[in-house]
Structure formats: C-alpha cells, structure tokens
Copies of this chain bind each other. A is one copy, B any other.
C-alpha cells in the first residue's frame, strides 16, 4: 500500500510529506520511502498557528485553522500525487496543546482533507492513548520496532529533536519488550546557547561547538540535574530544559573575556553524555545506535556521542529511513496503515496507557 504521511512540527517551518510503500509478510511489516517533500505553509495557516501557540488566537481563527491546514495538505498531496498513486493519507496535525493524561490537541480536519483529495485520511493519533491514561507519546516506537529490530543484535533508535529520546530494541524483541523514553535535551540547549551568544538559529554541523572547550564546572552542574538520574519511563520538555535555565547557566559560567564557543561545546557535551549514559545504563548490550532528527546533522555531536559510546556503532538514519528528515512523517504513514488494518499503534508500557488501542479516526469521502 502506498501511504503518504504528513508531519508538521511546532517550529512551523514546513509541511513534510513522506510517500511510503508499506508491505507485510505475516506479522513482519516493511516501510520504505518512495519520496520525501517539504512544502510551505500558507500564510493563513502559519499566522493562525503562531497565534494559537502564543495563546492569542480567537475562536474564529481556531475554527478556521484546521480548514486552512486541510487546504495546505491537499496542495502538498496533489503535488506528489502527480508522480505516485497514493492510496491513504495519514496526518499528524498541528499540535496546539499537549496536556496528558487529560488532553491533547492536534489541529487538523481529516474529514475536510478527505473531501478535498478524495482519498481516505487517518488523523488524530494521540487522543485514544490519552483517553486511556497514557501520555499520547512517544508513538514512534512501534515504527522503530517494525523497521529496526533485528534477530541478531541489540539496537537503539535515537531521535535528537528538541529533546532526545531512545527506543531500546533488544535482538528479537517483541513489541511488549520495547522500552522508550526521553534521555534529556536534544538540540534545545545547543540551539538556545548559540542563539544567546552568536545570534544563530543552530550550530551548523557543529562548527562552533568543535572550536571550543568544555567548561567543566558548568557541565558538572548540568549533569547533577535530577532528571538524568531518574529511572524510566520518563519524559521531559522545555518546561525543565528551558531557555531561562540555559541563560542562567551561561551567565553563571561564561567569562566575559573567555571564548563564547565554550558554552556551545559544553552544551553539546551534556547532550552527548546524557544520551550515552542512558544507553549504558538501560541498554548495555547495544551494538548499534541509529540516529535521526535534526541532531543527526551535527557531526560534532555525533563524534562526542561515538566517543562516549566506545565500541557501540553510531549511524545516522539515512540507510534506514532514506532521508535524514523523513523519519517522523514515515512513522505516521506507518501508524495510519496500522489504523486502516485495525491494528493497535500505541505501546502501552511506553506511553502509560491502560491498553493497546487502534489510534486515530478515519475519513473516507
């Protein structure tokens, strides 16, 4: 089945569409990328999302947003449809609020999109898990399991987005054996630091971090944060790894006369250490860590990670997902396919939900 997965993140930079071929042989599912495209948001959608995320949106704007998005998604699908005969569309939607285990809100209208493109659409993937007491996240582990689990070796899927999270896949693991949790910051504090010091959006390929030296007392204070020592399941976000806390640390430890690069180097080291420390503690038999997300584009971060992981192999996701940025959109294509086949998509021991459940809602107009 050819399934298009559509992912949009909170950075509101692009609509990612991964067209995937999903096949199965018994219980073995295979997901391969046919094409990956990023399309722009319309101005109406972007404005509405920015207002909504800032808590300033009117009821009219909030009502209109899912319809603006449906038109954007329809345009994105039509442009890939010329070359590929898509059979199903799976949309994550735009997260406006995430408040588990009470509620979660991904703005989107599957029904409107389905009407516009005359294809079945699956959407609203997080609500059922939240209704059953789960965190509604992470949902990617079932995709990690389908695409990465091996009969021969223990592996870890690592995603370095704003936060970093790992999915632990022991050799021959069933879904019930899968563990997944946030290890701590991903790019968030590296990005915050370089924005604060150099006014850049991110440390391209780790150039700045590579040029500095670790500020040891700053690293030590960061490493003493209780989150790192807590046992999983656990998850974190910008509430704990906040811009404010990063600024406090930078002010406290960076000398006015010292090189500003050191701050970036230290934050990169914290990220690499916290990921590898969790792998060592909770998945010591790991032979291979497969990295995805924006952090996979920072070669200095990957070097530090490899340093700490010693003999464990670190590889970027390209050979698995075929495009460095396609993983989440591919994961939602797979989740949509599971829904259409009546298969559960959440992993209860990962999300905390009371049971495995078929996710989402299906519109076929």
In the complex, what residue of chain B is closest to A353 when comparing beta carbons? B115
Instruction: Determine whether A218 belongs to the interface, using a CB cutoff of 8 Å to chain B.
Output: no
Q: Mark A81-123, 1 if CB is under 8 A from B, else 0.
A: 0000000000000001101001111000111111110000001
Besides A60-B97, A115-B132, 5 more A-B contacts (Cβ < 8 Å) are: A62-B62, A62-B97, A64-B102, A67-B127, A111-B361
Instruction: Determine whether A331 belongs to the interface, using a CB cutoff of 8 Å to chain B.
Output: no
Q: A128-B111, A130-B112, A363-B128 are in contact. Are A63 and B104 (CB under 8 A)?
A: yes
User: Which residues in B have their C-beta under 8 angstroms from that of A62?
Assistant: 62, 97, 105
Rounded to whole angstroms, the CA-CA distance of A193 and B358 in the bound complex is 51
Q: A60-B97, A360-B111 are in contact. Are A67 and B365 (CB under 8 A)?
A: no
Rounded to whole angstroms, the CA-CA distance of A358 and B364 in the bound complex is 7
Instruction: Determine whether A17 belongs to the interface, using a CB cutoff of 8 Å to chain B.
Output: no
Q: A70-B131, A103-B64, A357-B365 are in contact. Are A59 and B111 (CB under 8 A)?
A: no
Instruction: Determine whether A182 belongs to the interface, using a CB cutoff of 8 Å to chain B.
Output: no
The distance from the CB of A101 to the nearest CB of chain B, in whole angstroms, is 9
Give the oligomeric copy count. 2
Rounded to whole angstroms, the CA-CA distance of A59 and B97 in the bound complex is 7
User: Which residues in B have their C-beta under 8 angstroms from that of A103?
Assistant: 63-67
Instruction: Determine whether A55 belongs to the interface, using a CB cutoff of 8 Å to chain B.
Output: yes
User: Which residues in B have their C-beta under 8 angstroms from that of A113?
Assistant: 131
Instruction: Determine whether A58 belongs to the interface, using a CB cutoff of 8 Å to chain B.
Output: yes
Instruction: Determine whether A342 belongs to the interface, using a CB cutoff of 8 Å to chain B.
Output: yes
- Jot down 22 A-B pairs with beta carbons below 8 A, ordered by A: A60-B97, A63-B97, A63-B99, A63-B105, A64-B99, A66-B127, A67-B102, A67-B103, A67-B131, A109-B127, A110-B124, A111-B124, A111-B127, A111-B128, A111-B360, A111-B361, A112-B131, A342-B364, A357-B365, A358-B363, A360-B363, A361-B363
Rounded to whole angstroms, the CA-CA distance of A113 and B357 in the bound complex is 12
Q: Determine if A111 and B97 form an interchain contact, defined as CB atoms under 8 angstroms apart.
A: no
Q: Determine if A55 and B59 form an interchain contact, defined as CB atoms under 8 angstroms apart.
A: yes
Instruction: Determine whether A362 belongs to the interface, using a CB cutoff of 8 Å to chain B.
Output: yes
Rounded to whole angstroms, the CA-CA distance of A168 and B297 in the bound complex is 64
Rounded to whole angstroms, the CA-CA distance of A115 and B124 in the bound complex is 13
Q: A105-B62, A360-B111 are in contact. Are A116 and B131 (CB under 8 A)?
A: yes
Q: Mark A228-253, 1 if CB is under 8 A from B, else 0.
A: 00000000000000000000000000
In the complex, what residue of chain B is closest to A342 when comparing beta carbons? B364
Rounded to whole angstroms, the CA-CA distance of A364 and B97 in the bound complex is 24
User: Which residues in B have their C-beta under 8 angstroms from that of A105?
Assistant: 59, 62-63, 66
In the complex, what residue of chain B is closest to A58 when comparing beta carbons? B55
Q: Determine if A115 and B363 form an interchain contact, defined as CB atoms under 8 angstroms apart.
A: no
Q: Determine if B58 and A128 form an interchain contact, defined as CB atoms under 8 angstroms apart.
A: no
Instruction: Determine whether A52 belongs to the interface, using a CB cutoff of 8 Å to chain B.
Output: yes
The distance from the CB of A322 to the nearest CB of chain B, in whole angstroms, is 30
Instruction: List the 6 closest A-B pairs by CB distance, nearest first.
Output: A112-B131, A63-B97, A115-B128, A63-B105, A361-B361, A111-B127
